[in-house]
A = this chain, B = another copy of it.
């Protein structure tokens, strides 16, 4: 997941504007805008029926088109799903990267800011969140093109960890062991060696904890106990920052 981060994946890769052309033709503009409309309608659909129940015919209906017309824009339902997934990963990724870019903060405060930013996005877009972090859509296999966008969030988290004062408090190489150490080393070298393996592993653990918290909140596990979960989240994030070495 962590190994690709190409900037040009950000747009979603479905109606990439023709590179050479300076200005688009009317047809090109219409196509781009209708593609966006289709994705917007599909996103609205997700709200009601979830990823598994997404229906091309319903999307077409919402847009006042005939269902076969959608095949001018997406070769199949799965391709539309892929586009939505990539868009969602890029949306969270962007939010996370933005929070990382806040310059006036300590690494600790920045980590906390990233966590809250990601949760904010998740609360505002629960169905897109479920699309990418919930149970996999049955019968759908995510293509390679999702890997880059999917890795933006973990990379943002790891970037924060890389900024901390070198030599964290309670960590040594021998802790990881040979298997985990090897896996972590492979990833860090793929990333260009910007962080040590131990830091990477801490980041990955923090990443899973963050999303564990958000998933439980969104998927209703806190119902009837910690129902407005803001304070629980706030408290947990502070604890997690400590665990992560910040």
- A-to-B contact residues, CB < 8 Å: 1-3, 48-53, 130, 133-139, 142, 147, 150, 175-177, 179-180, 183-184, 186-187, 201, 204-205, 207-213, 215-216, 219-228, 230-232, 234-236, 239-240, 242-243
Contact = CB atoms under 8 A, between A and B. Distances in A.
A179 B234 CA distance: 11
A89 to B, nearest CB: 11
A239 B187 CA distance: 21
A180 B216 contact: no
6 contacts: A2-B224, A53-B139, A136-B220, A183-B225, A183-B231, A212-B212
Contact of A138 (B52, B213, B239): B52
Given A1-B221, A130-B136, 19 more contacts: A49-B139, A50-B52, A50-B139, A51-B135, A52-B53, A53-B139, A134-B219, A135-B219, A177-B235, A180-B231, A180-B232, A183-B226, A183-B232, A204-B225, A204-B226, A205-B236, A208-B215, A209-B209, A210-B212
Contacts of A177: 231, 235
A170 to B, nearest CB: 9
A158 to B, nearest CB: 11
Contact of A216 (B211, B216, B220, B239): B211
A223 to B, nearest CB: 6
A219 B133 contact: yes
